[in-house]
Amino acid sequence: MKLIYKLFIAVVVLTGLWSCENEENLMILEPQEAAFAIITPDNGSSTILNKETPNNTALTFTWEKVSYGAPTIVTYTVQFAASNTEFAAPVDITTSTSTHASITVAELNTRALALGLIPGEEGTIDVRIKSTVGTTLSEPKLSTPITIALTPYRGVFPKVDLYLVGPGTAAGWDVNNNNMPIYRDPKENAKQYYTGYFKADGFKLIEQLGFWAPMYGANGASVQYRATEGDADPGVFPTPTAGYYSFEINLEELTYKITPYTGPMTTYATITMTGSVLTGDDTGWSTDVPLVQSTFDAHIWKVTQTLKAGKMKFRANNSWDVSWGDNGGDILVEAGKYEIWFNDLDGRYMFIPTP
């Protein structure tokens, strides 16, 4: 009987010790009652982001230390949000166990654009700091938010395919009528070109076949961008009379130039493509795949073709007397299926991935 009693006492003691240990693990830490403030930057401060120094520090955030009443490691998270949203969708930027953090020009620019700020225009974002500790059930604390003004720049311009639409084009006012693309600069995505025949009354540019927006058109001497179909409809890029024109557009600067084309007008019987892209090895240079000539403009050619990774060129009349490549050299192509467009007036080409 004494043995049973001793065992009972031992179980009670061990249970008590276990409970005490778990109470420590479940200790609830509460942060200080005093206000928790961001020290720098100042509320309402303004920063212009410089495209030429992307790796420089744009801003350094500093804030007051938060005490949870017991020795513990505090983790601070810098959060951004679109202004006037009450942090409904906060974005975590960086975390730190110290009371400061920096952000580069490039990252701040990316974050600002993602929150809806417009390149070249001053806009605002809201900033706050969230403090937490690793103890179970501990309470996070949020700093008093601030609002800062930023002027971002347009980052690396994305690759955009643009298609002709309007009364001066082969498609007319139809956004899904084998619309011809214009030709993107191989080094600068924002710059695109087109030299070719237009009927009178001008044209506009669309980004997606079958949709009226996004769209680019003219607003006097500038480019007007239409992001959605609810936005104002831009005017046409002018082609007062039917004929050949050279057109160039800068999507970043929203500028354009259009002039009558007065260069060579040689018409070729055939245009073909040849190269290792056709077979995956050098035997492809003995093969020619013909492109189809446009009935609207005899200098525009097209073919849809599955290609191997490799090199290629375009050539006229199955002869090397007249050929086109990348600045005279071979064109390097990644494997895939493409809608291929070629313009024999200026040698420009487009490879548009297709299913």
69 CB-side CA count, 13 A: 11
Task: Specify the DSSP element, H or E, that contains 256.
Answer: strand 255-260
Q: One-letter amino acid identity for 73?
A: I
| Residue that is written with structure tokens 């191997």 in the block | 308
Q: How confident is the model at residue 263 (pLDDT cuts 50, 70, 90)?
A: very high
Segment 103-115 shows an average pLDDT of 91
Paired sense of beta strands 146-151 and 46-48, if any: parallel
- Say if residue 8's pLDDT is above 60: no
* The two three-digit tokens of residue 179, written as one number: 């619309």
Decide if 104 contacts 153 (C-beta within 8 A): no
Segments of the chain assigned to CATH 2.60.40.10: 38-151
Please name which of 61, 54, 55, 106 lies closest in space to residue 80, comparing C-alpha atoms.
Answer: 61
CA distances from 4 to 8, 14, 16, 17, 180 (A): 6, 16, 19, 20, 94
Q: How confident is the model at residue 158 (pLDDT cuts 50, 70, 90)?
A: confident
Higher pLDDT, 276 or 253: 276
Task: State the Cα–Cα distance between residues 78 and 83, nearest whole angstrom.
Answer: 15
Q: Which of 73-82, 186-195, 249-258, 290-299 has the highest mean pLDDT?
A: 290-299
DSSP per-residue letters across 168-212 = TSTTBS-TTS-PPB-EE-SS-TTEEEEEEEE-TT-BEEESSTT-S
- Say if residue 278's pLDDT is above 90: yes
Segments of the chain assigned to CATH 2.60.40.3620: 163-260, 271-353
| Residue that is written with structure tokens 């030709």 in the block | 183
pLDDT in tens, 43-85: 999 999 998 898 999 999 999 999 887 778 889 999 999 999 9
Q: What is the pLDDT of residue 33?
A: 63
Chain center to CA of 299 = 33
Q: What is the pLDDT of residue 28?
A: 54
| Residue that is written with structure tokens 């009349």 in the block | 317
Least confident of 54-68, 160-174, 339-353: 54-68
Decide if 278 contacts 308 (C-beta within 8 A): yes
Paired sense of beta strands 349-353 and 57-63, if any: unpaired
Q: How confident is the model at residue 32 (pLDDT cuts 50, 70, 90)?
A: low
Q: How confident is the model at residue 133 (pLDDT cuts 50, 70, 90)?
A: confident
Task: State the Cα–Cα distance between residues 277 and 344, nearest whole angstrom.
Answer: 20
Segment 283-289 shows an average pLDDT of 97
- Say if residue 292's pLDDT is above 60: yes
- Say if residue 6's pLDDT is above 70: no
The counts of H helices and E strands in the chain are 2, 26
Segment 304-318 shows an average pLDDT of 97
- Say if residue 129's pLDDT is above 80: yes
Domain at 163-260, CATH class = mainly beta
Please name which of 334, 354, 275, 339 lies closest in space to residue 304, comparing C-alpha atoms.
Answer: 339
pLDDT in tens, 168-200: 999 999 999 999 999 999 988 999 999 999 999
Segment 21-36 shows an average pLDDT of 55
Q: Which residues lie closer than 8 Å to 350 by C-beta, 6 or more apart?
A: 161, 181, 183, 184, 340, 341
Task: State the Cα–Cα distance between residues 63 and 129, nearest whole angstrom.
Answer: 8
Q: What is the pLDDT of residue 22?
A: 43
- Say if residue 139's pLDDT is above 80: no
* Phi and psi angles of residue 305, each rounded to the nearest 5 degrees, phi first: -150, 140
Segment 287-306 shows an average pLDDT of 98
Q: What is the pLDDT of residue 136?
A: 52
Number of C-beta neighbours around residue 151 at 10 A? 18
- Say if residue 2's pLDDT is above 70: no
Segment 39-46 shows an average pLDDT of 97
In CATH, the architecture of 38-151 is Sandwich (2.60)
pTM metric for this prediction: 0.64
CATH number belonging to domain 271-353: 2.60.40.3620
- Say if residue 17's pLDDT is above 60: no
Q: How confident is the model at residue 157 (pLDDT cuts 50, 70, 90)?
A: confident
